[in-house]
Chain A
């Protein structure tokens, strides 16, 4: 990997960390398009639980991973909501980058052709 690509990746990752760690706290808390549509026709209480009516989400079941320490974009045990959301976002970005980047790196082409292509392309940049 070239040094320039390294800097670009670092910059991109920093932006993603800021978005997930800081800006995420200013995101809208309203139900999203799918969820709002799924709840249309039902009455919902302050906690978002369905209290009556007819809608798509009536039979909705709890998530199998609801007990995960990061469930619902927060960290179990951290009471400050800003810290909890922000840190869970930072962890999510790092985990996604780690898993995604790792798998893609292992799956990449490593033949003689690939190496030749890289050299010629780097020279052209």
Chain B
């Protein structure tokens, strides 16, 4: 059997912990839906569908990172830059649900774990980095590309440590946690670099063709000439 994507399979983390994360993921996604509604307008909604479809496509493209080891994009940082954190988390979750239910990729029991790592940790880390970097870097295709690269590398490594945390809570085997954590981090730095290059190319291209469709460029503009009618609380910077 050929293994295609890096989603947790059934039976690696035990039932109770998997169920706990399923509840956590469901609550977090409900919160994302609530926050996403403020962002979703006639322009962002179809764009979000495209981002989900694009992430599905690119997740099929495993690239070699070491002899006998491959990796693929997770998409959290890419989604944050293009459609924002709340809609972005929902985009990645949509992909994970389709993969799990139709393509038998990533265990059904493990769906909550996979959503937590890739859709929630990946986008949350990506969002914090994007928000910080967009204040420092120029609002150009190059600036937004560099932002996507850095956010991807760190987001992917943190997502991999999400798995280590879940394994620590409910692993069905008992291997040295330090070894698991180290191996996962090492491999995912390489995967993150690959993801970063793909994400940077993608967002820089969109920023060149249609800068108005890049959430990070609209949202993190220094002083918007016309205040947005969207009631969004600015985090105290």
Interface digits, B69-106 against A, CB 8 Å rule (1 contact, 0 not)? 11110000000000000010011001100111111110
- The total of interchain contacts (Cβ-Cβ below 8 angstroms) comes to 267
C-alpha spacing A98/B98, complex, angstroms? 11
State in angstroms the CA–CA spacing of A121 and B40 once bound together: 14
Q: Which residues of chain B are within 8 angstroms of A9 by Cβ–Cβ distance?
A: 46-47, 50
Contact B2 A72 (CB under 8 A): yes
- By a CB distance below 8 angstroms, the chain A residues around B108 are 63-65
User: B160 near A33 (CB under 8 angstroms)?
Assistant: yes
Residues of A within 8 A of B95 (CB): 96, 100
Are B50 and A97 within 8 A (Cβ)?
A: yes
- Chain B contact residue count (CB 8 A cutoff): 85
When C-beta atoms are compared, the residue in chain B nearest to A125 turns out to be B212
Q: Which residues of B contact A3 (CB under 8 A)?
A: none
**B41 touching A108, Cβ below 8 Å:** yes
Interface of chain B residues 144 through 167 with chain A (CB within 8 A) = 160, 163, 167
A71 to B63, alpha carbons, bound, how many Å? Answer: 21
Q: Are A93 and B42 in contact (CB under 8 A)?
A: no
How distant is A46 from chain B, measured CB to nearest CB, in Å?
11
**A contact residues, total (Cβ < 8 Å):** 77
Tell whether, in the assembled complex, residue B104 and residue A72 are in contact, meaning their CB atoms are under 8 Å apart: yes
A33-B191, A107-B33 known; A56 vs B107 contact (CB < 8 Å): no
Once the chains bind, are B187 and A36 in contact (CB under 8 Å)? yes
Are A101 and B104 in contact, CB atoms less than 8 angstroms apart?
no
- Contacting residues, chain A, for B190 (C-beta < 8 A): 33
Is the beta-carbon distance between A104 and B6 smaller than 8 angstroms?
no
Q: Which of A1-50 contact B (CB under 8 A)?
A: 1-2, 4-5, 8-9, 12-13, 15-17, 19-20, 23-24, 27-38, 40-41, 47-49
Q: Are B98 and A99 in contact (CB under 8 A)?
A: yes
A54 → B minimal CB distance (Å):
7
Contact indicator A107/B12 (Cβ below 8 Å): no
A27, B175: Cβ atoms closer than 8 Å: no
Q: B46, A114: Cβ atoms under 8 Å?
A: no
- Cβ of A80 under 8 Å from chain B: no
Give the one of A9, A33, A68, A95 with max B CB within 10 A: A33
Apart from A8-B210, A13-B50, A98-B49, what 19 extra A-B contacts exist at CB < 8 Å?
A5-B47, A5-B213, A29-B2, A30-B70, A32-B62, A33-B190, A36-B69, A56-B12, A63-B10, A64-B107, A89-B57, A94-B53, A97-B50, A101-B53, A104-B48, A105-B45, A107-B33, A108-B41, A109-B40
- In the A-B complex, the 9 residue pairs with the smallest Cβ-Cβ separation, listed nearest first, are A101-B49, A100-B52, A61-B11, A32-B6, A97-B53, A71-B104, A28-B70, A20-B57, A33-B187
Chain B residues at the A interface, C-beta cutoff of 8 Å: 1-12, 33, 36-38, 40-58, 60-66, 68-72, 87, 90-91, 94-95, 98-105, 107-109, 160, 163, 167, 171-173, 175, 180, 183-184, 187-188, 190-191, 209-210, 212-213, 226, 228-230
